[in-house]
Structure 1
Amino acid sequence: MPADSSVTAVADAFQKLTTSDQIPKVTKYGLWASWAALVLLAACLIVVSFLVIDSERRAEEIRLQQSTDLVVQSLESRILGTAELLQKTSMRLMQVQNGRFPMASAELSATTLMEERSEVTSIALVTKENEVIRSWTSSVSPTIERRQVGALLTEKELTAAVARVFITDTSEITPLYTLKDTQLVYADLIVPTPSSQQVLVARVDLSRLLTSAVRFSSNDRYRFVFLENGDYVLEGDREQSTDAESAVRYEAPLTLLGRRSDVKTTILGTSFDHALSATNKVPVFLVAGLSVMLALTLAWLFYYQRQQHRSHRLLAAEYSLRRAMSESAVVGLRVTDREGRIIYVNETFQKILGCEASDLLGQRPPYTYWLEDIHERLDEILKAGNPTPEPVTFLARRKSGEVFHAEVRLSPLEDENGRSLGYIGALYDVTAQALAREEVLAANDRFTRVVQSLNSSLAVLSDSDELYFANRGYERLFGRSSEGAVRLLESLRTLPEAEHREGLYDEATERWFDVRVRPLVWTKGENARLMIATDITARRELEIAREQQLRRAEATQRLVTMGEMASSLAHELNQPLAAISNYAGGAYTMLENGTLSSERCRTAFERIENQAVRAGKIIQRIRGFAKKTDAKLEPVLVSKVIQETMELANIQARKLNARLEIDLEENLPTLRGDEVMLEQLLLNLLKNAMEAVFESDNHTIRVRVARLEAHQNMVRFEVIDHGPGISDEEKARLFDAFYSTKSEGMGMGLNICRSIAELHGGRLGITDTPGGGATFSFTVPVWTGEA
């Protein structure tokens, strides 16, 4: 019976959540009386504290006013004294009539003055034209910006003050200012000199003066700052002032040199709250005593209330629980008795379901908002006795009929003796999380489908070469083992950088792959590597076939070039052969006549040998040019390419009456290329240029070689002619295969030339020559040490 009565009392307490507390009226009045006495005592303490603080604040204002006025008087008298001392020293600092300074005397006088007046950081002697003709800097407190001799004063306020000094012959001082990257306040003091053409300009560190004045007056507990027209001179002072809005402040006018100006300069003194009661300890003791009395009263009241509440402990605990549950706005809470009857729901629970508490109270399982019966699942979780029971997710329905995803967590409700009173459940609307989880699963499914349908082989490996993941493309070629991926990665690591674009050949599968590797972090934070191997066997076979076809076309083109130059080459060979015949015939004739001496015989043989060597070099050059070789990119000298090409080009030039000029930039670097191919490319362009200028008035062809200004790692070859030029329509198709501007041409020469340029990593282009003609240019990369 006692247990049932306790449960009934708890249920009644939850149902009467919005009613007044059932505490006896006598106890309630006693509590009110105790708190009323405490409030009156606290009010008296607060009033007394405010009176004491106000009195202390007024006294502090008077002390601050006196201290600020004393600091202002000290600053004004110090500035006035500095001005008088400058005027006395001006005789030794000014420039004499012959344009020279009394160097030793001036330097000693300026140094002595700045040592005596440490606030003077620099002195400058200035003319009427605002030119600095002499400058001194303090060694005690050097300034950041020194006025240089020969410089002009540009500050508007300073130049105006200098002009007034020349007119009135009295001392002037500029408004306050700061220098860049400093937190110091300066002013320029201008005093006349015995010379009507010169004045002294002294930069005065007012911040140092202010610090000295404060230290001298023993007012270190106050803070003084400069104001001009009510605004802070230093930005740092403004930021510090906003941190103490309740501080005591007093502003005193600062009149420098005894004259007022358009700019209102003041000194703002501030006394912070921590300075109050610093001199008079009586208020501190008074407030402390009253605080102790209040603490004792509070302790007594707390003891009395503890005794009063001892008999109502259970009711107070239940009331606190009801308040905590009712004020919760994060999760929906419901309380049921041991039979599952709902005896309480909070506002959040009502908002989640969209109904009133009266619609839910008294319901038993299955509840009306369940779309599926989860009673058995909840019983299993409660019987398991897990201190942190698993949440149950289910579909719920609001009063409006809307269906949503819900999650409930149950916990037993027990009294202080461990007896079960019922259960408390927390309801969450997890629709957003459920939909997000479904979207993630759908996205994962789509991603898996995409990855599995890729033609490329995709694999994820750990640092220890463990296979984390592989798609079907990988498994089709390499199986479910990591051996294939490890083999490709090892081959990629040993493959030279320049051959990466050609792909990687796997001997095990006899296929070509384009392999890409990227580091990534796997699902549990492990470091992993993503490998994507794309099968490029078909493309690579086409490239190999194309390269072979290009080599055959290049060899054919070289033979065609030799055929086109055959008559010129025959003429070139005929000259040494005819000379050999003439020398041999002449020697034979002299031998028959008996006039062939040993000296003449030696001369004839030497000339025959020279002509034979000349003919052999021509034939060797033709064979080297026409010989079919595979492309091999290696270091090539520009001078050698030009020399070998010009040996053949000059033969054709003599036939076509063309004049070749060479313009080589100095200190050209070594090229990266195939020497024979570069000679073929340059010779083709020269041959075309010679044919173009054959019928022109200007037969000069210029070959210019220089580095590109924008790309220093490229060298540009230019073949410049002054022929008829090439139209824009022909330029668009000029490099196409089988297109030619000549009736007898095959249309393959420039196409092969472009292929050779692109094989070297360069480009072949055409522009118009100023004054008429065409300029063909191609680029070749510089040798960097890598093939």
Structure 2
Amino acid sequence: MAAATLDKAAKPNGAMPRESLVPRFHEPGHAGLDEDTTAWWALDVSDARSAIAAIARGAEPHTMAAELLAAVRIVDIDLNTVHLVGPYGGRRQMIGKSITAYWPAESWPAIAELIVSAVADFPPGAARTREITSIAFDDARLSISADKNRPDLVFISIGGTVTDDRSLWAVRASEERYQKLIRHLPIALLQVDAREIGATYEKLKREGVSELGPYMDAHPKLIDAANAGVVVTEANDHAARLFGVENPSDLIGPVSFVFAASPQSARRVMAARFEGRRSLAETMKLQTFDGRLLDVEISVTYPRPPERLDVTLISIEDITDRLRTEAQLRELQADYTRAARISMLGELATSIAHEVNQPLSAIVTNAETSLRWLSRPDPNFAKVGQLTSRIAGSARQASEIVQRIRGMAVQHAPERERLDLNKIVDEALLFVRHEIESRAIELSIRLGEALPDICGDRVQLQQVIVNLLLNAVQALGHSDAARGTIDLHTAKDTEGMVTFAIHDGGPGISGNDLDHIFDSFFTTKDDGMGIGLAICQSIITAHGGAIAADNHPEGGALFRFSLPAASVD
């Protein structure tokens, strides 16, 4: 069709009159491409005859392609071609230039073979149409025909479905910007081709496999196949530094090295792809090529149609130092918490002494009475046995008190267990019972019934409640007009959280202090350290809860915290 539009009067140098060569597919105002498009070229191959002959004699087209195409000159092109591959100077700048200036290098062997087939009919009967990979087209088809009246003139068309209306150079520039961005990102990034394992997944789904985990348990070789078949195709400079290699190209190959130290992570990455998830993130161990073992956070982003299905992105962030710092911070916080408990126990020294003295006094009294019964001419062994039992009971009571105090004072790692908040309240009250009784404070306790268990550390939660109780007692002691009452209750709120609230009849909290009440080292007491409420907040937060302070409408301060109910597990 294109050949029929050529003017028969060729110029002396073999080039055709350009105006007559342009197919009238589009008017001059053309600004884009239709969805189904063909781009058309007219080429002069007179200077490429020697290269064509060499290939016809047996030379390898792949090695001769650059030489052959460098000698092929553009005679004319249509506006689709100008749009796709043309320079800013447009069509006029392209005429007379070598086709290699505008044709993508990855397709040079294909077009060279087609030119040889059209001009030299080699190999005999070779197809004049073939499929190629193209940035501009999906299902790209490359076709060639020759003009029988002009043996040095061939026509090439490339067609298919246009999925990106930008020019080849715009796409290339965009890809170059993308590659430059990836290369210099301050995080390790790997680009992975997982199409092979993706095809395996589709096959398994067709065979009725719905969960990959059990299937991998029964077929462990699938993991080996994935490690070998999933390939790293690109890596950036940061990835090279992270893995301890000189060049990013050293990481190109099977992805197995990423999960060598964390095979279970590889299973989860595979399962997430099988389930059709968009992404997966987790913390794992990573073994580098220079022998380091790192803690890293890995994020995998999976492709979805119509995105390129050969591009899975893996980003890796070294969090070794961060985790080490967090561990040190936890140690400091544990020391801080223990210091607060010891300070609190110091404030309760009188109460503690009173608690311990009660069973000790009973032991002394019962022991002296036993001695008197034994010193009689006719000892009453039954009475002595009864008194001895009382002595043993008082000793156990003293031991329990000492153990509670020791548990509050010693350093220990937090232990999470299922707990009944009401029991923790009862245990905490034992520490401040004497303080409350000695000051004639009226204590009102309302414990919710059938509360769900919470999950937490018993000693830490006791510390929170004791601290709040002690603050309430001290608030009453600093107010002449205070009502000597403390109300506390536990309940389950509408959101399923387990709550604890304590309201004292003291002077309340100054409006200026409310926003700072939980700040570290903030205190309204002359001899206070300002760490008690800060510690309470950190403990409740670490347990997944929240704590707040306010003034009660009836006067006094109101402190309230809530904790999530323990899960079924």
TM-score range, shorter chain: 0.5 to 0.7
Paired amino acid for 1:700 = T
Query: Quick one: which amino acid aligns to residue 174 of structure 2?
Result: A
Higher relative contact order (CA 8 A, sep 6+): 2
Give me the whole-angstrom Cα distance separating, in 2, the residues matched to 1:662 and 1:629.
30
Secondary structure at 1:371 match in 2: helix
Separation (CA, whole Å) in 2 of partners of 1:376 and 1:562: 90
**Residues 1:445 and 1:658: Cα distance change in structure 2 (over 3 Å):** farther
Change (3 A) 1:686 1:411: same
Amino acid at match of 2:524: T
Contact 1:721/1:774, CA 8 A, preserved across alignment: yes
Is 1:453 the counterpart of 2:453? The answer is no
Counting only pairs closer than 5 Å after superposition, residues 164-175 of structure 1 correspond to structure 2 as none
Note the residue ranges of structure 1 that are not aligned, 5 or more in a row.
1-324, 326-330, 355-364, 392-407
Alignment of 1:296-335 (within 5 A): 334-335=5-6
Q: Give the corresponding residue for 1:490.
A: 263
How far the C-alpha of 1:486 sits from its partner, in A, is 2.1
- Paired residue type of 1:468: V
1:651 shift after superposition: 3.0
Matched, 1:756 2:539: yes
Q: Kindly provide the amino acid, as one letter, of the partner of residue 447 in structure 1.
A: Y
| CA separation of 1:760 and 1:472: change in aligned 2, threshold 3 A | same
Gaps of 5+ in 2: 31-73, 78-90, 100-110, 132-141, 198-225, 246-250, 269-279
Q: In the TM superposition, what whole-angstrom CA distance separates every residue of 1:212-254 from its partner, at most 9, and x where no partner exists? A: xxxxxxxxxxxxxxxxxxxxxxxxxxxxxxxxxxxxxxxxxxx
Distance 2:93 2:282 in 1: 63
Alignment of 1:578-597 (within 5 A): 578-589=361-372, 591-592=374-375, 594=377, 597=380
* Equivalent position of 2:487 in the other structure: 702
Structure 2 CA distance for partners of 1:376 and 1:607, relative to 1, 3 Å: closer
Q: CA deviation at 1:550?
A: 0.9
Shift of 1:446: 1.9
Q: CA deviation at 1:630?
A: 0.4
TM-score, length-normalised on structure 1?
0.47
Deviations along 1:260-283, one digit per CA (max 9) or x if unpaired, are xxxxxxxxxxxxxxxxxxxxxxxx
Question: Does the CA-based 8 Å contact 2:119-2:146 persist in structure 1?
Answer: no
Residue 93 of structure 2: aligned partner? 371
Question: Which amino acid is the alignment partner of residue 371 of structure 1?
Answer: Q
Residue 436 of structure 1 corresponds to which residue in structure 2?
167
Please say if residues 359 and 397 of structure 2, whose CA atoms lie closer than 8 Å, have aligned partners that are also in contact: yes
* 2-structure distance, mates of 1:353, 1:601: 118
Give, in whole Å, the separation in 1 of the partners of 2:231 and 2:448. 57
Whether the aligned pair in 1 keeps the contact of 2:415 and 2:456 (CA below 8 Å) is: yes
Q: Is the 8 A contact 2:262 2:286 kept in 1?
A: no
Map 1:653-692 → 2, pairs under 5 A: 653-692=436-475
Look up the equivalent residue of 1:697 and give its one-letter code.
A
**Following the alignment from structure 2 to structure 1, what is the Cα–Cα distance between the partners of residues 9 and 417?**
91
Q: Residue 486 and residue 505 in structure 1: after superposition, are their counterparts in 2 closer, same or farther (change >3 A)? A: closer
- Whole-Å Cα distance in 1 between the matches of residues 146 and 281 of structure 2? 69
Distance in 1 between the 2:463 and 2:281 partners? 26
TM-score (norm 2): 0.63
Alpha-carbon distance in structure 1 between the residues aligned to 2:389 and 2:543: 44
Q: Would you say 1:613 and 2:396 are equivalent positions? A: yes
Are residues 1:783 and 2:459 paired? Answer: no
**Contact 2:490–2:500, Cα closer than 8 Å, also in 1:** yes
Counterpart contact for 1:721–1:773, Cα < 8 Å: yes
Q: How does 1:371-410 map to 2 (within 5 A)?
A: 371-374=93-96, 383-384=119-120, 388=128
Report whether the alignment pairs 1:729 with 2:405. no
Give SS of 1:604's match.
Answer: helix
Q: CA deviation at 1:589?
A: 4.3
Q: What letter matches 2:185 in structure 1? A: L
Within 1, Cα distance between the matches of 2:179 and 2:284?
Answer: 27
Aligned counterparts of 1:735 and 1:742: Cα–Cα separation in 2: 14
Alignment of 1:113-512 (within 5 A): 334-337=5-8, 339=10, 342=17, 348=24, 351-352=27-28, 370-374=92-96, 383-384=119-120, 388=128, 411-412=145-146, 436-459=167-190, 460=192, 462=194, 463=197, 464-465=226-227, 466-469=230-233, 470-478=235-243, 479=245, 480=251, 482-487=255-260, 490-492=263-265, 503-506=283-286, 509-512=292-295
What is the CA–CA distance in structure 2 between the aligned matches of 1:433 and 1:516, rounded to whole Å?
Answer: 29
Q: Is the 8 A contact 1:514 1:534 kept in 2?
A: yes
Structure 1 pair 527/383, CA: closer, same or farther in 2 (3 Å)?
A: closer
Tell me, what secondary structure is at the counterpart of 1:514? strand
Counterpart secondary structure, 1:739: coil
Match of 2:384 among 601, 615, 627: 601
> How far apart are residue 665 of structure 1 and its match?
2.2
How far 1:501 moved relative to its partner? Answer: 9.6
Two-structure CA RMSD over aligned residues (Å)? 4.3
- Would the aligned equivalents of 1:334 and 1:426 in 2 still touch at CA under 8 Å? no
Q: Is this contact kept in 1: 2:545–2:563, CA < 8 A? A: yes
* Counterpart residue identity of residue 492, structure 1: S
DSSP 3-state at the match of 2:302: strand
Quote how far apart the aligned CAs of 1:574 are.
Answer: 1.9
Contact conserved, 1:757 with 1:778, CA < 8 A, in 2? yes
| Correspondence list, 1:518-533, <5 A | 518-520=301-303, 526=309, 529-533=312-316
Amino acid at match of 2:529: M
Which residue, 627, 646, 653 being the options, matches 2:429? 646
Aligned AA (2:459)? V
2: CA distance between counterparts of 1:654 and 1:476? 67
The aligned counterpart of 1:744 is 527
The offset of 1:746, in angstroms, is: 0.8
Shift of 1:512: 1.8
Matched-pair identity in %: 25
Q: CA deviation at 1:659?
A: 3.2
Classify the secondary structure of the residue corresponding to 1:709: coil
Greater Rg, structure 1 or structure 2?
A: 1
| Secondary structure of 1:520's aligned partner | coil
Counterparts of 1:697 and 1:781 in 2: how far apart (Å)?
Answer: 34
1:552 to 335, 354, 370: 335
Seen in structure 2, the aligned counterparts of structure 1 residues 650 and 436 have a Cα distance that, compared at 3 Å, is farther
**CA shift in 2, pair 1:523/1:776, >3 Å:** same
Cα offsets for 1:81-105 (capped at 9, x unmatched): xxxxxxxxxxxxxxxxxxxxxxxxx
742 and 421 in structure 1: CA distance in 2 versus 1, 3 angstrom threshold: closer
**SS, match of residue 260 in structure 2:** helix
**CA separation in 2, counterparts of 1:353 and 1:371?**
18
Paired residues of 1:335 and 1:425 also in contact (CA < 8 A): no
What is the alpha-carbon distance in structure 2 between the residues aligned to residue 616 and residue 483 of structure 1?
58
Q: Which amino acid in 1 is paired with 2:93? A: L
Offset at 1:644? 1.7
| Change over 3 Å in CA distance of 1:442–1:705 after alignment to 2 | farther
For 1:283, the equivalent position in structure 2 comes to none
Letter in 2 for 1:483: S
Q: Counterparts of 1:592 and 1:346 in 2: how far apart (Å)?
A: 134
Distance 1:668 1:375 in 2: 85
Q: Indicate how the Cα distance of structure 1 residues 345 and 620 shifts in structure 2: closer, same or farther if over 3 A, else same.
A: closer
Q: How far did residue 345 of structure 1 move?
A: 6.6
- Secondary structure of 1:727 counterpart: coil
Q: Is the 8 A contact 1:334 1:349 kept in 2?
A: no
Shift of 1:549: 0.6
The number of aligned residues is 421
